[in-house]
Every structure is written in C-alpha cells, then in structure tokens.
Structure 1
C-alpha cells in the first residue's frame, strides 16, 4: 500500500482541490483513494489526488471506508459530512470536521494564540486587525477582478467606498467585541444591498432557510470558506474554540472568524452573479473554487492567522515595553514557516 512518504509534499496553503461528493462510495484501491459511482450499466472509479486536496465534503448518499479514511488522514485532508448541496455541515450549523490526528503539528502558533486569547485587550485588537484585513481584501479582490467589474461591482464605487471607509473608522472606535459585531452586521447588509442592486435582485432578503438561488449559493459558498478556514486552523494547530470575535461558547467559532476574512470579497458577490445567470450548484461551486485559487484565499488566511499568533497587535494604551514576551516570526523552524508537516515527520 502507498504510504505518506510516497506522496509529493504540497503545503496546505498551496493545495488546489476541495471536493464535494454525493451518491458515491469513497474507498481505497491499489494504494489510491477513489470514489465509486454506480451507473445503469457500469460502475466508474474516479481518483482523488489526496496530496493536493485540502477538504472533502461528503453529501447525501455517500459512504467512506476505514482504509480510505486512514489514507486521507495521513495526507492531512479534512473530511466533513454535510447535507445536499454542501450545506449544512452536521451537526446543524455547527462546524464538525473529521480531523487527522497528528501530534507533529507546530506548537508556536497555538502557544502564541492562547497567550493573546486570555488577554481581553489583545483579543479585541486581533479582532480589529482581522476586520481591517477583511476590508483590505475586499478592496483588493474587487479592484483586481475584471469579471466582477463586468457585472457592475466595483471597489471604488461611491456607495462601497463610503461603506468600507466608514466601517474602517468604526473599527478603531469599537470598545468591545459586541460593538464590532453590530457594525460588521451593518456593513454586511450594505454589501448585500449593493450586490443585489448590481445584479437586479430587487427583492432580496437574506434568509439562511430560503430556497431562492442567491440565498442557497450564499450558504453553499460560505461552507466552502468554512472548509478552508478549518483546514488553516488544523494545520497551524489552533483549536476552533478560541475565537476572537464570535461567541466564546460557540463551537467552531474561530472557523467563522477566519472564514469572514474572505467571504464578503468572494462568496458574496459571486452568489448574486451566479444566481442572476441561473447557474447550477456545480457551476457555482466551480466558480467559487476558481476564485478562491485566483485570489489566493487560502494563502491569505494562513498569512493572517500566523501573523496574529506570532506577532499580535498591542492592546490600545499599551507601549512597546509590554511586547518583550512576544514570539517573533523568526521563531519558527526554517523550512516549515507555515507549520506544515513534512512527510518524514510522520515516521518519527
């Protein structure tokens, strides 16, 4: 059987594939992970390139063998069971992943994250930094993406520029996380309104349980972003419960925090554009995954989480002398700057 040492090592942040599978059986065969589809006259096997895959979502009518799960775990692939069309993840709307069990993940990121997390001031500062990064990413993606501009979605449109500038100013003024959440909700409503108007969705109302295409695509795309966020946190060894913005008692809350870095920039506008074009779920999924790759969404998540874990911003009112105990980026091991696993580490 093929072992992990036979696989070409690809950093998680550079991996290209997210799979959503339904009505099939995932299995190990001849040292590879395959999925089997049953047609009327024949059964077809399709290969999954596990070394270049970050997340697999298993939808309705799927099953997976123990041997396949062992190989996926050895390659560091996250597996999630979900409903039809990719939503919701089970249980309910909580984030539940079958995560590979490895003690060879890095320690510096989780230690740095916990150090800041137990300080209310630093936790708020990191939440603010995430929100500023979110705004910058929206501006960058919408300014660069000509396909979005062809759909009349522009970063420098007066309505969007005003909304983003206003939110950026409000972030600095926020005195607690609750203030950030309230203002973030207002920004998201403004973005919905703008994208809906640009794509002629005049009667749009955000409803997670609605059956219209725009709401369905928003749900679907958000869960793909959650897969990237969960993969980022698993690779860096940071538990999902240590959120900086979503509720402390909400399971998987840090996944939501990290996914929010890219959702508004990519998922939100394309959900409306694809709904206008009346695309199928598969076509929408392919479009979102292409845009995640084009705009290096996974790289961006890694960069932001690593930066905050190793060199978090000082709480307001603190001076530089309080920063002496922080870990610096030079502390991580040469050749493993992302905290990724090398194949030979598994054999130690």
Structure 2
C-alpha cells in the first residue's frame, strides 16, 4: 500500500512528462517501468519516471508487458496507442485508451458538472466562462513570453488588443452556443491572419488536409492539446460527451472544448513560427511540450475545469 501511495504522490496537474515512445518494449524491472531499445551491439534500458508522468503514448513498433501496465495503473498514468509522431490522437478510431481501473475516483466534479449541464442557459453560461478564460490565458502568456513577443505576438498591439476586446464583448452578448461558436471561429480566423502577417508566412488557408508545414503543425499541436484535455477530464472523472460548446452528437466533444482554452495561445503562434523556420516535426513537438511546461498549461486546464464544475450554479 505504501508503494501505491508513493506513486500517486504527485498530483496530475503538477506532473511534468508526457512520453511518446516508438520501436521499443515497455516492461517492469526491479520495481521500475523501463523501455528497452535495440542498439546495434546491445540492448539499452531507459527509466520512465511514472510518478511524474501524466500520460504514455505508444507509437509504431511498441509493446508493453502486463507487469508494466499494472505499475502504470497504480501510478495513475494514462496509456494510449497512437500512430507515428504521436498522431493521430483521440480523434481517430484506431486509438485505444487504457485507463487505470480504480473505485477511488473523484465524484464531486462530475456531480457539479451535472448540476448545470442539463439546463441550456446554464450550459451556455459555462461555455462563455470557458471562452473568457481562454482570453485571460492568452493575455497572461503573451504578456510574459519573450520568445513570442520577439516573433511579433505582443498582447498590447492594437490589432490583437482590439480583436480580443471585441471577442470578449461578443461572448457576453451571444444568445446561443451556435452564435458563440461563430464568434470563436471568426476570432481564430483573424488570429491566423495576424500570425501570417507577423511571421511573413505568405499565403495561408486553414485546411486540415493541406500538406504545408503550418497546417501540418497546427494539426499536430492540436492533437497534443487534445491529449492534455483528455487527461484533465479523465483525472477529474468527467466523461467526454458532456460538452458545453461542440454539441451533444460528438462523443469526445468536451475534449475539444477544454483544448480550446490553450490552442490559440500556444499552438497557433508556434505552428507558424516553426513552419517559417522549416522546423522538423520533432522540433515542433518539443517546442509545444516546452511551452506547455513553461506556462503550466495542464495546471491551467485543471483549474478551469474544476472551477466550472464546482461553481456551476450559474444564473438562468
């Protein structure tokens, strides 16, 4: 029992690592979870600090032992299978999430979520609360991130400041989720234009199937954000189907709602910066993960979802 307590000592919102592994074997050895890679002359073992790990993504050419899964479950690590490079993730049918089975999961957040979710007006208020939090996060990050500022993403620039103020006013005046989604789409489209102008990227049209670097990096970065959102919701025990923005017909819609809190702030600018610098996919992924850590993105998602769940008695 002491071992189990030790493994869960670090809160998920404070954990530092998201591991993506490929072409290796994950196993348990001497009370630790390791991954084994095949070198030219000898096999090499590498330790995974599971107590400080949020989720483990297993890419192409990986296998995992039952003993390793047992230890990962004890540590509360979310394990998933994915394609090469960590994608596709969550939005594709070939993904299988293996969640640790435990009766001791929080119930207060789901109960709080249900206290408002069946009321259309209260659900709209929750959606507005999410969107305002999204703006606050952008203000906080772009105000202090010198790398983004040097690239031209300064929160006090006239066009950015005006866009966010207008978006904030539209959020408050929106009378339906559909109207709110339209306001959000227009704002993100304007942010794309601002990013293109700041970076000098050239012609750009947002298309998920396009092959240019900016679109590819946006897709990749968004998947990473979906991973953080899914982890947050799993730990708090809120099913992905109880969305406040993206509709009740999409099984993982709440993942998209939560991921939107950080996508425009962190993924969007770095996708264009890295595309302009002709970065590799791995370099872009490392930049995103570093940004998540620097700005405590996972902790922010936890705080906002918990706050919405526990203060869900919105005025109708």
* Equivalent in the alignment of 2:59: 59
* Equivalent in the alignment of 2:236: 236
* Equivalent in the alignment of 1:32: 32
Q: Which moved more, 1:201-210 or 1:141-150?
A: 201-210
CA contact under 8 A between 2:82 and 2:94: conserved in structure 1? no
* Equivalent in the alignment of 1:43: 43
From the superposition, tell whether residues 90 and 183 of structure 1 become closer, same or farther in structure 2 (CA, over 3 Å): closer
How far has the Cα of 1:108 moved from its partner? Answer: 1.0
CA contact under 8 A between 1:232 and 1:301: conserved in structure 2? yes
* Equivalent in the alignment of 1:177: 177
* Equivalent in the alignment of 1:215: 215
Q: How does 1:199-348 map to 2 (within 5 A)?
A: 199-312=199-312, 314-315=314-315, 318=316
From the superposition, tell whether residues 95 and 178 of structure 1 become closer, same or farther in structure 2 (CA, over 3 Å): farther
* Equivalent in the alignment of 2:22: 22
* Equivalent in the alignment of 2:159: 159
The list of structure 1 runs, each at least 4 consecutive aligned residues, that deviate by more than 6 angstroms after superposition, is none
CA contact under 8 A between 2:117 and 2:123: conserved in structure 1? yes
How far has the Cα of 1:163 moved from its partner? Answer: 1.3
Name the Cα RMSD after superposition.
1.9
How far has the Cα of 1:94 moved from its partner? Answer: 8.7
* Equivalent in the alignment of 1:99: 99
From the superposition, tell whether residues 143 and 90 of structure 1 become closer, same or farther in structure 2 (CA, over 3 Å): closer
Structure 2 alignment gaps of length 5 or more: none
* Equivalent in the alignment of 1:322: none
Structure 1 alignment gaps of length 5 or more: 319-348
Instruction: Give the TM-score, by structure 2 length.
Output: 0.95
Structure 2: distance between partners of 1:94 and 1:300: 29
Q: How does 1:55-204 map to 2 (within 5 A)?
A: 55-89=55-89, 92=92, 97-204=97-204
How far has the Cα of 1:91 moved from its partner? Answer: 6.2
CA contact under 8 A between 1:94 and 1:251: conserved in structure 2? no
CA contact under 8 A between 2:142 and 2:155: conserved in structure 1? yes
Aligned length: 316
CA contact under 8 A between 1:109 and 1:309: conserved in structure 2? yes
Name the SS of the counterpart of 1:271 in structure 2. helix
Structure 2: distance between partners of 1:144 and 1:219: 26
Q: Deviations over 1:247-275 (max 9, x none)?
A: 21211111111111111111111111112
How far has the Cα of 1:312 moved from its partner? Answer: 2.2
Q: Deviations over 1:100-138 (max 9, x none)?
A: 222211111110101111111110000000001101111
Structure 1: distance between partners of 2:257 and 2:62: 29
Name the SS of the counterpart of 2:28 in structure 1. strand
